[in-house]
Amino acid sequence: MTRIVVIGGGISGLVTAWQLQQLAARQGRAIQLLLVEKEPRCGGKIWSRQEDGFLCEWGPNGFLDNKPATLELCRQLGIEDRLLRSNDNARKRFIFSGNRLHRLPENGPMFLRSQLLSWPGKLRLVGEALVPAKRDGADETLGAFGRRRLGAEALDKLIAPMAGGIFAGDAETMSVASCFPRIVQLERQYGGLLRAMVCLARHKRAERKAGKAVASAAGPGGVLTSFAGGIAELTETLRQQLGEAVISGVAVRRIEGMPGAYQLALADGRQLAAEALVCATPAYAAADLLEGLAPQAAEELRAIPYAPLQVVCCGYEQRQIAQDLNGFGYLIPKQEGCSVLGTLWDSSIFAGRAPQGQVLLRSMMGGATRPDVLDFSDEQVQALVRADLRRILGIATPPPFIRVFRHERAIPQYLVGHADRLQRLRQLLQPLTGLYLTGNAYDGIGLNDCVANGARVAEELLQQLA
């Protein structure tokens, strides 16, 4: 019987372990599987917290349904009927610029009417069709890509805020190829982004005619999807179905041994032996565990930085807010001088996030451009968030409900050269037969990416053992 240990009980580790169980059963393979999680609770950054009638997401609030991995996982788990799609409000997204909210345009006429970009900025953006495609294949920052193709104003008011909202990242250091591979692919395939948009718009019109739900052109592809009880319903279901295979509340202190014969020392004194090992922890934790086995690989793992984040949930009486909250929320360009990266109108996106007659707003503060937020007290964080809400939404009264969730190392940053780092990691770990890495530090930070990569690792591992 093959002994397999998965270290880390976040979404990546849970999916990998569950898929290993399912694949082994279908293949008639006998495996002894254990998942070890240092925290008493599994789920990692995914945690849906119910309090005073508000449902606050500690981390991500859902996944996009434009990729099949998570939807297929829900079907296999038997929880597909519990999925909750975001309502139409989520299609309306805003940017705060020049002391007012601007709705992101979804089509040509809206773009022309929008006052978010100046006329020179609009002309420069339209001129993107004349910019030659980059052909040398060299990696570049998102900032360099944005200026080259769309101009400085579009970078500052559109692209950089998006980078902050998705990755909590800095456009001047992020790798465009690793963070947004799709737009690099579109440039190569169509020669430019506007040409690609025209072709893709035709495809969306055809989908609408066929009766399919199509996401707003102003946001990422797909419809944001969660559960009535929050996105943690997914991780909780995985944890339940894994049953006794999970050891929680105990950390792995070190890994020793040789390829195919690993020894794990747990914090409670237990020793585990494994022929195969999946490290589904954050990169910095994986570095500590692999220091003795692969010191050069550990060095590469430690070089993957993480951005800090403060998540602040504010609950208000609806009557306290004059602003129409019919939308997804807003992002804020750095030039506006605000403290937060943006605010999601959670109770407008999903039903059941706030008590009747109340609303829930969730603001993000920090990221790669503001690492100093970790030094702020809860009182300072709350004061800064309230000041921004007063300026942007006109909310003068204090929120009856407010919670601050701190993430010292929230989101891994894919800097320029990230793909090369991954290639070096694979080469360094290749001699360690049966050892795999998975998680959001490598091939995608989104929930869909973690689910797909966990399933891929499970399949590769069993194939190698065979």
Residues 240 and 211 in one domain: no
Residues 243 and 364 in one domain: no
pLDDT of residue 218: 46
Q: Are 279 and 4 in contact (CB under 8 A)?
A: no
Cα separation, 308 vs 303, in Å, equals: 16
What CATH number is associated with residue 34? 3.50.50.60
Residue at 245 is within a domain: yes
What CATH number is associated with residue 346? 3.90.660.20
Poorest-confidence range of 36-50, 98-112, 311-325? 98-112
Ranges of H-type helices in 272-401? 283-290, 295-302, 346-349, 378-393
Residues 118 and 205 in one domain: yes
Q: Is residue 209 pLDDT above 80, yes or no?
A: no
Provide the 10 A C-beta neighbour count for residue 399. Answer: 22
* Residue from 235, 241, 223 nearest 84 by CA: 223
Residues 346 and 425 in one domain: no
Domain that holds residue 206: 106-217
Task: Place 443 in a pLDDT band, splitting at 50, 70 and 90.
Answer: very high
Residues 310 and 297 in one domain: no
pTM for this structure?
0.93
Per DSSP, what are the bridge partners of residue 400? none
Residues 193 and 285 in one domain: no
pLDDT in tens, 97-122: 999 999 999 888 898 899 999 999 99
Determine the average pLDDT of the residues in 367-371: 94
Residue at 98 is within a domain: no
Task: Give the mean pLDDT of the chain.
Answer: 94
Residue with the bigger pLDDT between 453 and 136: it is 453
158 SS3 class: helix
pLDDT of residue 291: 95
Determine the average pLDDT of the residues in 235-248: 98
Residues 185 and 326 in one domain: no
Residues 335 and 279 in one domain: no
Determine the average pLDDT of the residues in 392-398: 95
Cα separation, 30 vs 2, in Å, equals: 7
Final residue of a domain: which of 391, 412, 433?
412
Length in residues, the chain? 466
Tokens 């999946």 correspond to what residue? 278
Provide the 10 A C-beta neighbour count for residue 22. Answer: 15
Residue at 15 is within a domain: yes
Determine the average pLDDT of the residues in 175-195: 92
Domain count of the fold of the chain: 3
Determine the average pLDDT of the residues in 441-451: 97
Residue at 165 is within a domain: yes
Determine the average pLDDT of the residues in 343-356: 96
Q: Are 45 and 58 in contact (CB under 8 A)?
A: yes
Final residue of a domain: which of 217, 247, 276?
217
pLDDT of residue 260: 85
Task: Place 380 in a pLDDT band, splitting at 50, 70 and 90.
Answer: very high
pLDDT of residue 207: 67
Determine the average pLDDT of the residues in 266-275: 96
Residue at 227 is within a domain: no
Task: Place 217 in a pLDDT band, splitting at 50, 70 and 90.
Answer: very low
